[in-house]
Chains A and B, each alone.
Chain A
Amino acid sequence: MRDASEEEYVEYVTARIPALRRLAFLLAGDEHRADDLVQQTITRLYVKWRRAHAADNLDAYVRTMLVRTYVDERRLGWARVRLFRDAPEPPPHQNDGIEDRQVVRAALRQVPRRQQAVLVLRFFYDRSVDDVAEMLGCSTGTVKSQTARGLATLRRLLGERELAGFSTKT
């Protein structure tokens, strides 16, 4: 089947892979598992392509597929293992927040998977409570409570060390 529909799929997916890898990397925290997540997501997308590409918001639809794949966590045994070290040691005089970001990343990995997804989608991607509820297939109340609990946990974990040299790059 090499029809126009498949060409559209290849064109769409090829353009979206960088963005999907970034989302997967934020969630999984590891490049290998991020690529596995994207690979699984685009395979499922191919199967559903005819229906999916007519979706009102295809990007959101694909993000949802990826987030749900992550929340299921297929390769559970490796879920909390990082195959690469965090970013290399920053030069001591250069306070560009690299270290703080490492701490946040490490803290994120210490909250349950659904809360990680809620925090990343709500604050990194600026998605609304309603959007996130739809993506995770849960109620808005659950998203709100998970947001509060997740942020409080991050605050505690981050508070355990001094956040030195952070420059507010948003």
Chain B
Amino acid sequence: MPSEVDLLRSLDDEPRTPSTVDVRRAIADGRRRRARRGVAYAGAATVTALAVAGASVAGGLVTDEPPPAGSSGGPPTTAAARPKGEYTIPGTADWRPTAVPPPSSCTLKRLPAPDGAPMALISGGDPTGHYHVGRSYPRAGGYQAVIWHDGTPRKVMLPGDLEEALRDVNSKGTAVGWSFAGGEGDMGPVPYAYDGGKVVKLQGVRRGSASAVNEAGAIVGDDDAGHALVWPSAAAKPIRLPVPAGTSGATAADIDEDGTTVGTIGNNRAYVWFADGTHRALPVPTLDGKPAAITRAVYIRNGWATGVASNGLDAKGDGPNANLARGGAVATVRWNVRTGETQLVDGVQNMPDATNAQGWILGIGPKGRAVLIAGETTVTLPDLGEPGDLSTIANTLSDDGRTIGGQSDDATDTIQAVVWHCQ
């Protein structure tokens, strides 16, 4: 039996896709940054970017029907209208978010980190834009989970000193995430919630992680044994989500307000679990004329799931789809989980970074800069330092599209937590 060191040495380190690294782009980005170096960074820089109207539309429809003209991405109305109740629960089929026009510009503000930590980032936010979660990188080393309320940071003391992250938060300030715990030979992530000002270890699993929380406080995630889980609340035992027989491994990535949960089964198939107990795979879109080899659902909001599709290892990314032009063979996908309508989304490189109830998407645009795609409007987000590949990443988008949270490198190339206010 080989030792684990032998096995480490035997790892195949050859990437299986052609390089997309671009020296010329590095020089162009580097020149801009170099030009800025030495110029003192003046605190909360406020930069404004203008919208480019009509620069991006959802394309590559799989179903026969195009999306409604000027659609903000909501599900299409059904022809045979059922009797409508006095009210509609957010996230259920008849619910509509308050319609808002796309913003035309966003201004950027750096958020403070606890204890003046030199570096921090935001990885999750609530639908109202008041709460954000992420982590800071204290001077002494390691990671510190952080929650910001209207821009004011507070440390969240998760047990363990190895690596930790908060992934999502709701408008009541309930946040969820994971922290590595354990010693030699027994290490792994442990799922936590931060609820009512207290850190709670989620029940029913020894190892696992929590990925998302909805407004009702239901939490989704997984254990380290390959089961997708829902914790009905931070204090409840988890429910193991069912999968088809023979499935190896499942993860739950996000949960809608009505409890609809999306994730991935078998590490290769986007999947949806409905609150009524039914569940199914999401339709497989066509990439380069072939069914995608791999699909993953990562976000859900207002009945629309967002994720990625890729066409496996033999793809060279030279197909007709613009999304694949970067040698990618990975495309952003939206699914209406109720109707099965499936769309490929243009305008972001490979993976989306957030969505909201309007169906808008945050991601990295073709020039490596963070963009908001709101229907037919694309807004390029301003950067803290000089723009460059992935130097700014937007990770959360409020339902009204007015507050965006994320990270941006400052003039010294250090990651900073930032919020954009858009109008």
Which residues 157-208 of B have a CB within 8 angstroms of A?
A: 162-163, 165, 167, 180, 183-188
Q: CB-nearest residue of chain B relative to A10?
A: B23
Are B294's CB and A83's CB within 8 A?
yes
Check A40 against B19 for contact (C-beta < 8 Å): no
- Is there an interface contact between B13 and A149, defined as CB atoms closer than 8 Å? no
Residues of chain B within 8 A (CB-CB) of A113 are: 163
Q: Which residues of B contact A35 (CB under 8 A)?
A: 15, 19-21, 327
A14-69 interface (Cβ within 8 A of B)? 14, 17-18, 20-23, 25-26, 31-32, 34-36, 38-40, 42-47, 49
Q: Is B30 an interface residue (CB 8 A)?
A: yes
Return the contact of B308 from the options A42, A83, A149, A152 (Cβ within 8 A).
A83
- Residue numbers in A under 8 Å from B4 (CB-CB): 104, 151, 154-155, 158
Instruction: Report whether A76 and B123 are in contact in the complex, using a CB–CB cutoff of 8 Å.
Output: yes
Interface of A is mostly: helix
Tell me if A153 and B19 are in contact (CB < 8 A). Answer: no
Q: Is A129 in contact with chain B by the CB < 8 A criterion? A: no
Docked CA distance A20–B15 (Å): 11
The answer to the question of A91 belonging to the interface, with a C-beta cut-off of 8 Å to chain B, is: no
On whether the beta carbons of B7 and A42 are closer than 8 Å, the reply is no
B338 CB-CB contact with A under 8 Å: no
**Interface membership of B119, Cβ < 8 A:** yes
Bound state CA distance, A168 and B354, in angstroms?
44
Most buried by B among A76, A100, A113: A76
* Closest chain A residue, CB of each to CB of B180: A112
**Could you say which of A43, A149, A151 contacts B30, with CB atoms under 8 Å apart?**
A43
A47 touches B34 (CB 8 A): yes
Task: Indicate whether B353 reaches chain A with its CB closer than 8 angstroms.
Answer: yes
Stretch of B75-83, B90-98, B387-395 at the chain-chain interface: B387-395
C-alpha spacing A158/B229, complex, angstroms:
24
> Bound state CA distance, A32 and B10, in angstroms?
22
A87 to B207: give the CA distance in the assembly, Å: 27
Residues on A with C-beta less than 8 A from B17 are 31-32, 84
Which one, B23, B137, B187, B354, contacts A153 given CB within 8 A?
B187
Contact across chains for A84 and B8 when beta carbons are under 8 A apart: no
Residues in B neighbouring A42, C-beta threshold 8 A: 21, 23, 26
State the Cβ distance, B367 to closest chain A Cβ, in Å: 12
Q: Are the CB atoms of B21 and A38 closer together than 8 Å? A: yes
- Min Cβ gap B75→A in Å is 25
Q: How large is the interface on B (under 10, 10 to 19, 20 to 34, 35 or more residues)?
A: 35 or more
A77 within 8 A of partner (CB)? yes
Q: Contacts of A1 on B, CB cut-off 8 Å?
A: 31
Complex CA gap A163/B266 in Å reads 21
Most buried by A among B4, B5, B165: B4
Most chain A Cβ neighbours within 10 Å, of B15, B141, B313: B15
Q: How far is the CA of A94 from the CA of B12 in the complex (A)?
A: 16
On whether the beta carbons of A112 and B7 are closer than 8 Å, the reply is no
User: Whose C-beta in chain B lies nearest to the C-beta of A76?
Assistant: B123
Question: Are B7 and A72 neighbours in the complex by a CB distance under 8 Å?
Answer: no
Which of B7, B26, B310, B354 sits near A43, CB closer than 8 Å?
A: B26
Cβ contacts under 8 Å, B330 to chain A? 32, 83
A127 contacts B by Cβ under 8 Å: no
Say whether B298 contacts A81, CB under 8 Å: yes
| Interface residues in B285-327 (C-beta closer than 8 Å to A) | 293-294, 296, 298, 308, 310, 312-313, 327
8 Å CB interface, A101-118 against B: 101, 103-105, 108, 110-115
| Contacting residue for A123 out of B8, B121, B351, CB 8 A | B8
B5 proximity list for chain A (CB < 8 A): 123, 151
| Smallest Cβ-Cβ distance to A38: which chain B residue | B21
Does the CB pair A84–B21 fall under 8 Å? no
Q: Which of B13, B354, B389 has the most CB of A within 10 A?
A: B13
Q: Which residues of A contact B328 (CB under 8 A)?
A: 32
Can you report 6 A-B residue pairs in the complex whose CB atoms are below 8 A from each other? A74-B393, A83-B351, A88-B313, A101-B10, A104-B10, A166-B7
